[in-house]
Chain A
């Protein structure tokens, strides 16, 4: 009996330490749970349009693809900044893993908290539908950034750049760097990443043009957005295709891994794609010592900010997510909701931004 008593005592100690731990940790986030409670009782399940256009007392959530995704973290940062400027409460949630299952739990948890809007970077286009429809039924506004969900699950999508513009841009870069002919390969993220697949499709469509007829796409490799796997895939590409001229990596993780492999090996193969300036600064240059002449990306902070302005506009009723709706995004100017290829609607941030040796030093400290 003594042994069991000891067990009970230890258990009690465990629980109390857990309580203490949460009490300490909860300090920073105590503002978050308090506000939804008050707003949840106020909005009664329907987002009543606020007459003053302000967002005080409202709660806006952003859900990233996974913790540790540098691009998504910057998006969340921009989102949070705008929401706080507008006087709203911001909740940033990272799912447990980069899966749709984990995002479902997060959405469910946000519904419980009675948030006013959810802005999500989806891990799967269709798998979140049931959870997001439930959120809509509770009067929560849904938009997505970076990676979209299907048209039935969202009100609108904040698109970083038109899919076709990106495809065209990257194709032009490959053409320019390769000198107009030769073998090239794509290093992507996971095989089911919605955005990557759309861009790759767009590049393939752009390639139909007579201008690119001498370019030969040898393989689309998948590095799953893991540094090690991306490194392995790059090395595999190099050994499989000795005549390879250019690798195009439309993913921040992939391009970084590939840049390191190419530069360390002093490989003549050149690289372009979509990458973060801070991670890529040491690889960008026009000479042979650098592996990447130039690359593209949009500004994730701006993407997050536009996501925030969109959420605010949805919550206060300025827009409903229908084609033709217009709203003002602070100092970013005015934006319009347009029809998207999948039958839903989207808001396009702008054309991708080119990072070359001339401007990389200005940007590498920004993000």
Chain B
């Protein structure tokens, strides 16, 4: 567990306040606070009520972030989840319009998503030499293609009965149900990753998959499970997105996978696997959501917002490298 996974070991070491503040998660919390102060300063309408009201649309992406973090920790990636959302939403809408009872509609959405994930998992565990980026790029096109064929020439489907989905988008006070579901899901994912053998195995495989295999971990079983999990969460995301959009079309879920990857990387999860914490990814997700809402409220040009988010992301991956370089230069200076 040395080397790449050094970070996991450090959790068990003494925890002083300095450590908490100076960890990547600590920095992210500061950044989160800074972003909120910034938004309050620039927008007179940036308050808890409005932020919670604007949040559901963005929260649908957080569902994808959770399994994406697991995948990145494994050293894998899945860029088909956005298309899985599209296909699941399409099928759920069709099931709803066909008059199926509501629980069954939800089940259809979840099942389609899970099936999409299982297809990815099956291909990637059966043919382990294939790169996940390319395979999921292929399945992305296939899933979206199936959705487009199903949607037909109109390219969109809308619910004929919106009642139950409308109820799903309801709120307790100012807090949408979806917010609670996201928090609950995030908590479960964090506990599983941090406190169970399964979580430790994920880190182990991400650090060194071959060593993990020789250590007796069922590497392929875990990979299959996590890919399927990503599909399942795409189904969850699709159901909640349907409650916001009352339907689906060929552009549903476009770019969700990239947003999820960006949030995870910004949260300190390495795309090489084995490094990073889910907590960071979740804080970074809310930081990005708050920044988007705040900048949106001052009617900033969306392209400028995208540039800012992109620059932040590049900086986030650059920072640790820059710091490392600065330190090694410091050591060299001392030696000389």
Across-interface contacts of B301 in A (CB, < 8 A): 67, 94
Cα distance A91–B31 in the bound complex, in angstroms = 29
**In residues 96-110 of chain B, which contact A (Cβ within 8 Å)?**
none
Across-interface contacts of B243 in A (CB, < 8 A): 130
Across-interface contacts of A21 in B (CB, < 8 A): 308
Contacts A101-B254, A104-B244, A112-B53 known; A192 to B300 CB distance under 8 Å?
A: no
Asked if A11 and B38 sit within 8 Å, CB to CB, the answer is no
Across-interface contacts of A15 in B (CB, < 8 A): 31, 34-35, 38
**In residues 45-86 of chain B, which contact A (Cβ within 8 Å)?**
45-46, 50, 53-54, 57-58
Q: How far is the CB of B5 from chain A (nearest CB, A)?
A: 19
Across-interface contacts of B154 in A (CB, < 8 A): 191-192, 197
The residue that A109 contacts in the complex, of B54, B241, B247, B324, with Cβ under 8 A, is B54
Asked if A105 and B45 sit within 8 Å, CB to CB, the answer is no
A106 CB–B CB distance under 8 Å: yes
Across-interface contacts of B241 in A (CB, < 8 A): 101
Asked if B245 and A127 sit within 8 Å, CB to CB, the answer is yes
Across-interface contacts of B45 in A (CB, < 8 A): 33, 36-37, 40, 112-114
Cα distance A134–B246 in the bound complex, in angstroms = 13
Q: Is the interface of B mostly helix, strand, loop or mixed?
A: helix
Cα distance A32–B312 in the bound complex, in angstroms = 26
Cα distance A126–B247 in the bound complex, in angstroms = 7
Across-interface contacts of A1 in B (CB, < 8 A): 18, 22
**In residues 277-314 of chain B, which contact A (Cβ within 8 Å)?**
292-293, 295-306, 308, 312
Q: Is the interface of A mostly helix, strand, loop or mixed?
A: helix
The residue that A191 contacts in the complex, of B27, B155, B319, with Cβ under 8 A, is B155
Cα distance A6–B244 in the bound complex, in angstroms = 42
Q: Indicate the member of A11, A19, A40, A104 with the most B CB atoms within 10 Å.
A: A11
Asked if A3 and B323 sit within 8 Å, CB to CB, the answer is yes
Q: How far is the CB of B145 from chain A (nearest CB, A)?
A: 14
B315 CB–A CB distance under 8 Å: yes
Across-interface contacts of B155 in A (CB, < 8 A): 190-192
Asked if A127 and B246 sit within 8 Å, CB to CB, the answer is yes
Cα distance A70–B334 in the bound complex, in angstroms = 60
The residue that A127 contacts in the complex, of B31, B158, B300, with Cβ under 8 A, is B158
A26 CB–B CB distance under 8 Å: yes
The residue that A33 contacts in the complex, of B44, B247, B250, B323, with Cβ under 8 A, is B44
Asked if B245 and A100 sit within 8 Å, CB to CB, the answer is yes
Asked if A112 and B249 sit within 8 Å, CB to CB, the answer is no
The residue that B306 contacts in the complex, of A96, A130, A190, with Cβ under 8 A, is A96
The residue that B296 contacts in the complex, of A6, A92, A105, with Cβ under 8 A, is A105
Across-interface contacts of A67 in B (CB, < 8 A): 301-303
Asked if A127 and B247 sit within 8 Å, CB to CB, the answer is yes
Cα distance A60–B160 in the bound complex, in angstroms = 31
Q: Kindly report which residue of chain A lies nearest to residue B35, judged by CB atoms.
A: A15
Asked if A192 and B249 sit within 8 Å, CB to CB, the answer is yes
Cα distance A103–B24 in the bound complex, in angstroms = 34
Asked if B156 and A26 sit within 8 Å, CB to CB, the answer is no
Contact with B along A18-29 (1 / 0, CB 8 A): 110110011001
Asked if B38 and A101 sit within 8 Å, CB to CB, the answer is no
Asked if B50 and A112 sit within 8 Å, CB to CB, the answer is yes
Q: How far is the CB of B110 from chain A (nearest CB, A)?
A: 21
Asked if B156 and A125 sit within 8 Å, CB to CB, the answer is yes
Across-interface contacts of B41 in A (CB, < 8 A): 19
Q: How far is the CB of A126 from chain B (nearest CB, A)?
A: 3
B252 CB–A CB distance under 8 Å: yes
Q: How far is the CB of A38 from chain B (nearest CB, A)?
A: 9
B130 CB–A CB distance under 8 Å: no
Across-interface contacts of A127 in B (CB, < 8 A): 156, 158, 245-247, 249
Asked if A97 and B42 sit within 8 Å, CB to CB, the answer is no
**In residues 1-54 of chain A, which contact B (Cβ within 8 Å)?**
1-8, 10-12, 14-15, 18-19, 21-22, 25-26, 29, 32-34, 36-37, 40
Across-interface contacts of B252 in A (CB, < 8 A): 99, 101
Cα distance A67–B297 in the bound complex, in angstroms = 17
Asked if A99 and B327 sit within 8 Å, CB to CB, the answer is no
**In residues 89-125 of chain A, which contact B (Cβ within 8 Å)?**
91-102, 104-106, 108-109, 111-114, 123-125
Contacts A11-B31, A129-B246 known; A96 to B299 CB distance under 8 Å?
A: no
B161 CB–A CB distance under 8 Å: no
B138 CB–A CB distance under 8 Å: no
Q: How far is the CB of B263 from chain A (nearest CB, A)?
A: 16
Q: How far is the CB of A137 from chain B (nearest CB, A)?
A: 11
Q: How far is the CB of B155 from chain A (nearest CB, A)?
A: 3
Contacts A5-B22, A29-B300, A192-B155 known; A97 to B254 CB distance under 8 Å?
A: yes
B222 CB–A CB distance under 8 Å: no
**In residues 146-172 of chain B, which contact A (Cβ within 8 Å)?**
151, 153-156, 158-159, 162, 166, 169
B322 CB–A CB distance under 8 Å: yes
Across-interface contacts of A40 in B (CB, < 8 A): 45
Contacts A99-B251, A101-B251, A113-B45 known; A130 to B245 CB distance under 8 Å?
A: yes
Extra 17 A-B pairs, beta carbons < 8 Å, given A6-B327, A111-B50 = A5-B22, A6-B322, A6-B326, A10-B322, A22-B298, A25-B304, A26-B42, A32-B298, A96-B303, A97-B251, A100-B245, A101-B245, A101-B252, A104-B244, A126-B246, A127-B158, A130-B245
Q: What are 10 A-B pairs with beta-carbon distances under 8 A? A: A2-B327, A7-B320, A33-B44, A33-B45, A67-B301, A98-B251, A101-B254, A112-B297, A127-B245, A127-B249
**9 residue pairs, one from A and one from B, having the closest CB atoms:** A192-B155, A126-B158, A4-B22, A112-B50, A109-B296, A96-B302, A37-B44, A99-B251, A108-B54
